[in-house]
Amino acid sequence: MDETLTVAVRVKPGAARVRVGGRFDGPHGPALVIAVHAPAVDGRATEAARRALAEALGVRPATVSLRTGAASRDKLFLVERPAAELPAVLRRLRDGSTG
């Protein structure tokens, strides 16, 4: 098993409610859409997206880190030591039912 899982994300800052689900075909390929309350100021939306991604995947926030995209809505996050089922969970969030 790989030591990290790379997750492409499209962040929608300033949303009315936090939501993880849906697909956006961005520059990093099929991306998971994460809507957050936080504005795109001083990294606040990135941090909110990092925490929302960790919660949606059922991992500790400390295991999720930003790889690239600090100043962009299109980001790549790394999940350290992902469980075997995480790729399937990610696909379901991105391509299937949303919550």
Domain residues for the domain of 37 are: 4-95
Model confidence pLDDT, tens digit, residues 1-47: 568 999 999 999 999 999 999 999 999 999 999 999 999 999 999 99
Q: With 60 as the cut, is the pLDDT of residue 97 above it? A: no
How many structural domains compose the chain?
A: 1
* Angle ∠(15,42,23) on CA atoms, nearest 5: 40
DSSP 3-state assignment of 37? coil
At 98 the pLDDT is 45
- CATH code at position 49: 3.30.1200.10
Joined tokens for residue 55 = 């919660």
Backbone angles phi, psi at 35, to 5 degrees: -95, 135
Q: Are 90 and 58 in contact (CB under 8 A)?
A: no
